[in-house]
Amino acid sequence: MSLSTRGNIFRSLAAAVSLTIAATAATVVSATATPAAAAGTQTVRLTTIGNTSAVTGYPTGWPDADSVFLGSAYEGFTARSFLTWDASAVQNKRIESATAHFHNPYSTSCDPTPWEVWTTGPITSATSWDVQPAWRELEAVSTETSCADTAVTADVTSFVRRAAAAKAVQPTMGLRATDEADYTAYKQFWSRKYTDPAKVPYIEVVYSTGVAVTEPHIDEGSSCVTGANRPVVDTTTPALNILVDDPAVTQVRADFELTALNGTVLHTAASASQASGTLVSAKVPAGKLANGGTYRWRTRGVSAGSAGAWTTWCEFTVDSSLDIIGADDVNETVPEELRDALGTYDQLAEANPDEFGYPDVTGDAIVVDVVTDEAADKAQALADGTLQAQPSTDPDANKAEEAAIEGQDNVAGVDMAINDVTLSRTEIDELRDEVQAAVVSTPALVAADVWKTEVDRDGGRIAVTMSDVTVPAAQALEQRFGDRVVLIDEKNQLPVDQASRLADVPLWRGGARIKIKRPNGTVNGCSSAFAWNITSTAPGMLTAAHCAPDGGTMLSWREQTMGSIPSGSRENYGSNGTVYLPNQKVYRGDMALANASAGIQGRIFRGPVSTTATARVKAMWSRRAQKGDQYCVGGSYFGEICGWTVGATSIDVYSSGKWKRNVVMSRLKTGKCTGPGDSGGPVYTVNSDGSVTAKGIFNGTHGGGSDSYGGEFDPCSNYFTDIWDAYYGFPGTLKTS
C-alpha cells in the first residue's frame, strides 16, 4: 500500500471519528409488530439499547459514539464493535428468519469485503480492546458494503434464535472484519445515537406462533424420506416420533396416521400430552404391519385444542431378517466388580490374537472366546493363577501376556466360562477393516452416514452405526458380510465443527486445504473447489489441473485419502499447459475432477484460513462469467477474499512456461491478494441468505509483490476456470444443498 493511499484512509477515518465526539442524545425505536409477512407469521423490528467500539490503542470503549466501527483502517488502528439488543419481543416466539440492517456511511473500499456477526458476552463499563466480551458463536458472514450511506444486511437468524432459546432478553452481538489485516475491509456503521432515526441499526425478525413439528423419524435416527432411500426397520411394531413445540404453552401432544402406500389407513393414534419442545412417540401396535411391507406415516402437533398442519408423508420398509439393535445393546456396561478381571483376560487375548476372540461379560461371569485348545488352557491357567510366561529371546515380544500374568489376582474368585468360536481376534479385526473399506467405497453406505464401527463382543460381529439404516445400505452390508455385521440406527454424534478449512473430514467440502500426491511421488499443496455429483451414486471433487498434471491421489491436509484423479480423462494439463479433454475440441481452462472415496456435501468453507464456518452451495451461475461481474475467492492458504471484478473472459494466460487456455481474468485490485496454494479453490458470489453461487475454479495470481498485498505500484489480479467448463467438460453436475 502506498503512503498516499494510507493518508486518504486516515483522513476519512478522522472525519468519521469526529462524528463520534459530537454524539447526540439517543433516539430509540421501540420493537413493534407489523402486519404478517406471510400466512402464520408476523414481523417485529428489534433495536439496540447499547453499543460500543473497542479500538486498538484506546484504554476504553466508545459507548457514546454515533457510529460503530469494524476492521483495520491503517496500521495500529483496528476496531471491533458490540451492540446490545432489546429482544423482549421475540421471547416465546418461533424464529423463522432475522435480518440485521446497518447504514454504512463509510468504507475504505466500495468492493464487497467480508465481515462477521457473533454472539458475544455482555458489554461492561470496562469493555475495551484489551477487555473484550467473550466471542462465543460465529452467527453470520456478510460481504455487503456501501460507500453511499445505504443499508447493508446480514442474515442473523441463528443469533436471534439462540437468544430466544436462552431466554436472553438483552443479547449482545459482536461485529468484526473477517480479515483484520485487510485495510480495504474497514467499515463504519451508524449507531443508535445517530441523529437520523431512519438510519439506526435494527433487526427485522419474522416469527410464528402456534404449534409446530420437526424431526419426524421412525425409531432412533431414521429420517423422513420417500423412495429408494426410505429407512428400514427390523420390527413390525416400530415407534413413530416427532418433536412438538409451541413456545407459548407448556403442554402439547401429537396425532399420528399410518397407511399402506396405496393410502389404505391402517392405524391412527393420539398421544398423551407432554412438555412442549419434547419428543412425542407412538408405538405401532402388533398386527398392523407385515414383514417385507412398505408403509407411510404422517403426524401433526396439537396445542390448546388447535391442530397444526400435517407433515409430509414419511415412508419405511419392514425387514425382520435384518439385525438392527439399539446403541445400548452392544457391549453393555460392565459391572464395576468385573472390570479388572475383564481387562486382564483382554490382555491375554490381545497377546495371542490368533488363538482368542474378544472376551465378554454374561451375568456375573467372564466369557472367554477361544479358537484353539492352547487358548483354552491358557485361559484356565489364568483363572487358576498358574499361568506362566513363555520363554522368548525378544524382551518386547509379549508384554500384554506378561501384564495378564502380573494381574492374575484380578481374576481370583471371578467365574470364568470358555466359549469355542471360529473367528479369532485377528480375523475379527480384519473383518472390521473390510467393513470400513466398504463404508467409504459403497455409495449406499456413504449416503447412510456410517460414523462408527465397533466389535460386538457377544458373537464376534462388527456393529455398524449409521444415521439412517436404509434398504440399500442394509442390503449392501448383508450381501457382502452376511450375519457377521449387526446394524445400529443412531444419529451421528460427532461434533459438526470438527472440520475446518485446514482439516476437512468426510463428508468433504470445497475450499479446504488439500494435497495431491502425484505418480512420481511429489506432493502439491492446493485447495478443493466444489463437490461434484459425477453420477447419482459417484461423488467427486473439483480442483485445478495444474495441481495434478498427471493425475494422482487427493488427500486432506491431514493426509486422509479423499479420492483419485485419473490422468488424462479427469485433468486437462499437459507439458505446455491446457490440453483438450478426450473427445472434446474446446480448451477448458485448468481443472481436474477427483473420484471421491467418501461422501461429499454441497458446502464450502468461508472466512479466514483457520475457519470452521461453511456455507451451502445454492447453484451454478446461470451463465458464464461476463466482464464487470464481481466474485470472491475462497483459497485455503490466503482465506476468503472478495471484491474481485471480472476484467476479461475467454483469454489465454502464459505463466511459468505454460499456457492456461480459455480462462477468466480479474481487473487489477489493491489490497490483499490471493496467492500460492489457493489454486483449485472455489470462485463464487455470496447470496443475501449467506449461501453461495458457484462461479469457477481458481487457477492463479499475478502481482501483489512478495507480501501478497497489492499497493498503488503493484496491484494484483487473478484468473479462474469458469464453472460452466467443468459442467461441459466433465460428467455430472455441481453438488448443491
What is the rounded distance in angstroms from the CA atom of residue 532 to the CA atom of residue 343? 47
Please tell me whether residues 122 and 196 are part of one structural domain: yes
Handedness of CA 471, 473, 475, 477 (dihedral sign): negative
What is the rounded distance in angstroms from the CA atom of residue 440 to the CA atom of residue 446? 6
Please tell me whether residues 217 and 342 are part of one structural domain: no
Q: Give the residue from 153, 180, 208 where a domain finishes.
A: 208
Helix axes 399-406, 336-351, angle to 10 degrees: 150
What is the rounded distance in angstroms from the CA atom of residue 133 to the CA atom of residue 328? 41
Please tell me whether residues 129 and 25 are part of one structural domain: yes
Q: Using an 8 Å Cβ cutoff, are 348 and 355 in contact? A: no
Q: What is the CATH number of the domain that holds 718?
A: 2.40.10.10
User: Which cell numbers in the block locate residue 615?
Assistant: 456455507
Bridge partners of 366?
361, 416
The pLDDT of residue 392 is 52
Please tell me whether residues 621 and 736 are part of one structural domain: yes
Please tell me whether residues 518 and 431 are part of one structural domain: no
Kindly list the distances between the CA atom of residue 197 and the CA atoms of 200, 202, 215, 307, 561, in Å, as whole numbers in the listed order.
Answer: 5, 10, 42, 42, 56
Handedness of CA 204, 134, 146, 623 (dihedral sign): negative
Q: Is the pLDDT of residue 491 over 90?
A: no
The pLDDT of residue 18 is 35
The pLDDT of residue 221 is 54
Please tell me whether residues 202 and 221 are part of one structural domain: no
Closest CA to 719 of 677, 686, 674, 688: 674
The phi, psi pair for 184, rounded to 5°, reads -80, -5
Please tell me whether residues 109 and 76 are part of one structural domain: yes
User: Which cell numbers in the block locate residue 336?
Assistant: 464395576
Please tell me whether residues 617 and 541 are part of one structural domain: yes
pLDDT in tens, 214-223: 888 887 556 7
DSSP 567-596: TTTSB-EETTEE-PPTT--S---S-EEEEE
Please tell me whether residues 117 and 81 are part of one structural domain: yes
Kindly list the distances between the CA atom of residue 246 and the CA atoms of 4, 278, 351, in Å, as whole numbers in the listed order.
Answer: 59, 10, 57
Please tell me whether residues 583 and 702 are part of one structural domain: yes
Structural domain boundaries, residue 342: 330-490
Handedness of CA 177, 181, 185, 188 (dihedral sign): positive
Q: What is the mean pLDDT of the chain?
A: 86
The pLDDT of residue 19 is 34
Length of the chain, in residues: 737
Strand segments, DSSP code E, in 76-132 are 77-85, 94-104, 106-107, 115-120
Q: Is the pLDDT of residue 270 over 90?
A: yes
Task: Give the mean pLDDT of 574-583.
Answer: 92
Percent of the chain residues past pLDDT 70, beyond the cut: 91
pLDDT in tens, 51-100: 999 999 999 999 989 999 999 999 889 999 999 999 999 988 888 899 99
Helix or strand run (H / E) with residue 342: helix 336-351
Which residue do the cell numbers 484489551 mark?
130
Question: Residue type at 123?
Answer: I
The pLDDT of residue 6 is 27
The pLDDT of residue 131 is 95
Task: Give the mean pLDDT of 527-556.
Answer: 94
Please tell me whether residues 73 and 93 are part of one structural domain: yes
What is the rounded distance in angstroms from the CA atom of residue 468 to the CA atom of residue 445? 9
The pLDDT of residue 725 is 94
CA dihedral in degrees (40, 41, 42, 48; nearest 10)? 160
Q: Give the residue from 188, 208, 228 where a domain finishes.
A: 208
429 three-class SS: helix
Please tell me whether residues 218 and 202 are part of one structural domain: no
The pLDDT of residue 529 is 98
Task: Give the mean pLDDT of 671-683.
Answer: 92
Count: domains in the chain: 4
What is the rounded distance in angstroms from the CA atom of residue 91 to the CA atom of residue 102? 23
Q: Is the pLDDT of residue 359 over 90?
A: yes
Q: Give the residue from 465, 490, 515 where a domain finishes.
A: 490
Q: Is the pLDDT of residue 390 over 90?
A: no
Task: Give the mean pLDDT of 413-428.
Answer: 93
380 three-class SS: helix
Question: Residue type at 209?
Answer: T
- pLDDT bin (cut points 50, 70, 90) of residue 295 is very high
Closest CA to 135 of 152, 159, 151: 159
Question: Residue type at 161?
Answer: R
The pLDDT of residue 380 is 94
What is the rounded distance in angstroms from the CA atom of residue 156 to the CA atom of residue 669? 30
Residue scoring higher pLDDT (219 or 668): 668
The pLDDT of residue 20 is 33
